Structure 1
Amino acid sequence: MFFKLWPMFKTALPFKLVSFLLLFGILVSCNEDTVEPMGEGSIAGTVITAETGEPIPAASITTTPATTAIVTDAAGKFLLDGIPGGDYNVSAKKNGYKTEAVSVAVMDGKQKQITIVLGRSKDTNSVPNLPAKPSPAVDATNQPTTVTLKWQGTDPDKDPLTYDVFLYEPGATQKKKLAEGLTDTSFVATDLKYGTLYLWQVVATDEIGGLTNGPVWSFSTLPLPDTRYLFARAVDGNYDIYSSTGTEAGIFKLTSSFAREWWPVISPRRDKIAYSSNVTLDPQIWIMSRNGADKRQITTVPVAGYHNLGIGFAWSPDGGYLVYANYDNLYRIDSDGANLRLLAKAPANRHFRMIDWSAQTNRIVVQTIGSNINDSEIYTMNADGSDMKLVVNNLPGRIESPSYSIDGNSIVYTRDIDGFESKEGRQLNAHIFVQKLDGSGVIDISANKPAGTNDLYPRFSPDGSKIIFVNTSNDGISQMDIWMVDALDGKNRVKLFSNASMPEWK
């Protein structure tokens, strides 16, 4: 029997022994790793403003879980001492500021350093003071067309400020924002118009969003100099209109649209300038004051036709209306855009193009052109479109730019004397010619021009002694410059303006 139980005994004994030893080990282990209490620590902190970083005194400090409620001292500092170890949210609160909290873990015998940043509440924020001390002074006169606008800005809460600057003319339907979000108290306004009253205003905003609209101040610019010259100039491929006293230094920009604006023609009264603009896609006639103000479109039927991108129109001698080309139609329209009516029809298969009107004879000279740019003739007619007479035949080479002499007895025009004709319209040797209306007395004004160049767009000076014109290389891609020359014999060629075309001189 004993021998039958022995194998079982041998199996059970080790199992009980192992269990006992394991239990003993666990008890011993628990005794060695007993958790110690976290003890006490402290939290030292500073409360500052979000806007300037300055300390905030007398801010209430509380914790979650609750410990001791205290306030910051004059330097914005506080100390929570003897706090049981653990995780806390420390909150800072003061009237006029948003309440903020910081999480911190307190450990035995340790001091934690924290900073609590408070932003001011919009409910208690003071808006900026009114902008003051403007420069130019209120109602200042004779200011340049580039002027530095200055002002003084302050805030009751000593907040940093930003500024928006607006500039506009009296009666404007919308203020033009010159600058936005400025941190400086000055801004340079450029491209102002001569002889113009301007209103300007500064809007101040603090970091909390408080906003103050400043007073509306005013100043006026210098009177427009005596600018008797007009021309178009291309900058970065975009044409605008300029006026000048006769020197490069005395040039003033009159238009600044994204559109192509060119072919300026001043009225006989010298108070308005007509020009063409494709701001509405089709080239239309616009009118502005001599200083570039009061721009308005007067046509809805475009200046267009064969090889015509808005270059065919002229003032009536009294300045009351204009005539202009629209395909095979020659229209008359009042200077205010009213009373459009047909004056004449071009010969068959031709369109009207460049035009001038003599104040002395009250007759119109006009170029007609076919679909081929080299197919050109020049006619004259009465102011009502009657009595149309051919004065320059369709000669070899391009013929264009007819304009009257001061007495109305002669015309000036250009012709490529080499007779070169390409479908693109390139000219090799365009000369300026003056001739009587009956075709006699032809004078070649360009006999002394540089070889390899073209003389283009001629017009007589106001006293008739000079001709103003464009000279450019015959490569068709080079810069155009404006020159003048003696009208009698083509001598004394003098360059007036660089990078300039389509001259007008009244």
Structure 2
Amino acid sequence: MNKYFLIIVTFAILLFLGCSEDTIEADVFGSISGVVTAEDTNEPLNNVKISTSPASNTVFTNEEGKFSISNVLVNSYSVEAELDNYNTEFEGVEVLEGLTSEVAIELVLSNTGNGAPSTPVLLNPVDGSVNQLLEIEFAWNSIDPEDDELSYTIQLRNGSTNEMEEFQIVGDTTYTVNNLSLETNYFWQVSAKDELNESVSSEISSFTTFSAQNNPFLFIKRIDGNSVVFSGANSDEVNETTDANVLQLTDESKNSFRPKRNNNVGKIAFLRTIGGENQIFTMSLAGANEQQITSTVPVAGFRQESIQFTWAENGQKFYYPNFDKLYAINNDGSGLSQIYQTNDGSLISDVAVSSFNPDTIILKTNDVDGYNVRVFAISQSSGQLLYTVLENQLGAVSGIDVTANMDKVLYARDVSGSENGDYRIFTSRIFEYNVNTQETSVVETEVIAGENDLFPSYSPDEGRIILTRVLNNQGAIPSIYLAFLNDSDDNDELFTNALMPDWE
């Protein structure tokens, strides 16, 4: 019996000692500290509510986004960060005895209650529009219900090449794109996005850029010492004031001038200086496929800026001067022939013909100083003089043109009568000669004292003329004007810093 009693007492003592050890073990603690920032800006967030699971203490971040929780029992915790307008975030952390565990939390803006922007409405260019310029200001509209700042993406696809371009815009609802391609169909779409919502996209719209065929005017501009050929459109037809649809056609590193268009063959002819000589070239209406026509006999005469040539025989030939001789050449460079020579050695400076009467050629001649001008008509077949338009007048004469039925001849003459070594023109005015009545009349324009009207030519409908207007001082900048023959008060400036106009 004593034996069993001893065993029971021993077991009870061991049990008591084990229970006593559990109750006297001390709790151990660590701490948690951290920072809360905005995910999109990385800026610290103030007054963020910080709590843990399992529960410990609840604290709030300061202005630096920092927080600290002390006396946290050693354990594994999930730290919770809450702030209005942000998604609640959780971050795991292990608390160790006597140590501070660091945690960094990024909060993402919540889109709860924040509406997406409206679907963009495309305003310009209008869907399906044609003859658009090669520089376009795209315009659209989109509204955000909370007035959030919106960012936009324009996608622009070239319908010919399928090349896609993207343009990023913040805030603005307009954006200008230049260097578009001629005669090309484009497709465009705008996407709008705020900071919280997915982007919304507009419908796809299309437009077509203008064709060079629609640019009836040719002219030159001076660039870095060279003449460069351009085309352009009537300002009234494209809602522009001046310089409408201006398109550069020749390389500015080459001297190219006196452009002349022929619609029968769909080409532009022009003069280009090659090795000190002026040669006739042709190109497409868009400025491609250049071809040299003349070579052995260049275009030559008095002053490069005064000399002219012409298309002939419905675009199949060219007539051009070489000093005192007039030549014809086929539009492919073959068939060169001399068709006329002055009998007094005077220089041929200008030539004009009509497709309705191919046998009659109008010529302008002058001496080596540019004066003693004659304008007259000859028969190509016989070489005989048909009639004289102008002679025995002092002063310079610039440009000649003729109506389709050869009943009127247009030219400009310096009425000041000045003849000087610098070939300076002081008071150039436009005149029209009536072949039937043999009378000459002044074409009234809005030109004023101190200005010159130069190199006039008829419009295709022959009711208007196009001309170069420039102040008479040296180095003045010229412009091209459109004038109505029967309305002296209706002159429109078409192109600035431009000269040598042609209109077909």
Residue 339 (structure 1) shift = 0.5
Residue of structure 2 equivalent to 1:367: 364
Give distance in 2, aligned partners of 1:254 and 1:299.
20
Give distance in 2, aligned partners of 1:193 and 1:276.
26
Residue of structure 2 equivalent to 1:381: 378
Contact between 1:258 and 1:279, CA under 8 Å: does it hold in 2? no
- The match for 1:413 among 411, 414, 436 is 411
Give distance in 2, aligned partners of 1:225 and 1:327.
34
Q: CA 1:439/1:451 → structure 2, altered by over 3 Å: closer, same or farther? A: farther
- What are the within-5 Å matches in structure 2 for residues 339-354 of structure 1? 339-354=335-350
- What are the Cα deviations for residues 77-101 of structure 1, in whole angstroms up to 9, with x where unaligned? xxxxxxxxxxxxxxxxxxxxxxxxx
1:336 aligns with 2:336: no
Residue of structure 2 equivalent to 1:227: 215
- What are the Cα deviations for residues 300-333 of structure 1, in whole angstroms up to 9, with x where unaligned? 1111123245832101141101100001110000
Contact between 2:309 and 2:321, CA under 8 Å: does it hold in 1? yes
Corresponding residue SS for 2:259: strand
Give distance in 2, aligned partners of 1:455 and 1:230.
17
Q: CA 1:385/1:335 → structure 2, altered by over 3 Å: closer, same or farther? A: farther
Residue of structure 1 equivalent to 2:501: 503
Give the letter for the 1:313 counterpart: F
Give distance in 1, aligned partners of 2:428 and 2:264.
32
Residue 497 (structure 1) shift = 0.9
Give the letter for the 1:490 counterpart: S
Give distance in 1, aligned partners of 2:389 and 2:352.
14
- What are the Cα deviations for residues 269-320 of structure 1, in whole angstroms up to 9, with x where unaligned? 1601110001333110000010101001000111112324583210114110
Residue of structure 2 equivalent to 1:431: 429
Give the letter for the 2:302 counterpart: Y
User: Any stretches of 5+ residues in structure 2 without a counterpart?
Assistant: 1-130, 137-176, 186-207, 236-242
Q: CA 1:191/1:427 → structure 2, altered by over 3 Å: closer, same or farther? A: same
Give the letter for the 2:247 counterpart: F
Corresponding residue SS for 2:214: coil
Contact between 1:484 and 1:494, CA under 8 Å: does it hold in 2? yes
Residue 448 (structure 1) shift = 4.0
Contact between 2:430 and 2:443, CA under 8 Å: does it hold in 1? yes
Q: RMSD across aligned C-alpha pairs, in angstroms?
A: 3.0
1:271 aligns with 2:259: no
Residue 392 (structure 1) shift = 0.9
Residue of structure 2 equivalent to 1:396: 394
Give the letter for the 1:382 counterpart: S
Give distance in 1, aligned partners of 2:449 and 2:369.
26
Give distance in 2, aligned partners of 1:334 and 1:246.
32
Give the letter for the 2:233 counterpart: T
Residue correspondences, number: 306
Give distance in 2, aligned partners of 1:272 and 1:476.
34
- The match for 2:281 among 280, 286, 292 is 286
Corresponding residue SS for 1:347: coil
Q: Which moved more, 1:441-450 or 1:334-343?
A: 441-450
Contact between 1:446 and 1:455, CA under 8 Å: does it hold in 2? no
Residue of structure 1 equivalent to 2:438: 440
Contact between 2:226 and 2:253, CA under 8 Å: does it hold in 1? yes
Q: CA 1:340/1:382 → structure 2, altered by over 3 Å: closer, same or farther? A: same
- TM-score (norm: length of structure 2): 0.56
1:451 aligns with 2:439: no
- What are the Cα deviations for residues 156-211 of structure 1, in whole angstroms up to 9, with x where unaligned? xxxxxxxxxxxxxxxxxxxxxxxxxxxxxxxxx986863599xxxxxxxxxxxxxx
Residue of structure 2 equivalent to 1:243: 231
Residue of structure 2 equivalent to 1:480: 478
Contact between 2:231 and 2:248, CA under 8 Å: does it hold in 1? yes
Give distance in 2, aligned partners of 1:426 and 1:439.
32
- TM-score (norm: length of structure 1): 0.56
Give the letter for the 2:408 counterpart: S
Give distance in 1, aligned partners of 2:319 and 2:308.
8
Residue 451 (structure 1) shift = 0.8
Q: CA 1:190/1:489 → structure 2, altered by over 3 Å: closer, same or farther? A: closer
Q: CA 1:192/1:281 → structure 2, altered by over 3 Å: closer, same or farther? A: farther
Q: CA 1:255/1:267 → structure 2, altered by over 3 Å: closer, same or farther? A: same
Give the letter for the 2:423 counterpart: G
User: Any stretches of 5+ residues in structure 1 without a counterpart?
Assistant: 1-141, 148-188, 198-219
Give the letter for the 2:301 counterpart: G
Give distance in 1, aligned partners of 2:416 and 2:244.
37
Residue 249 (structure 1) shift = 3.1
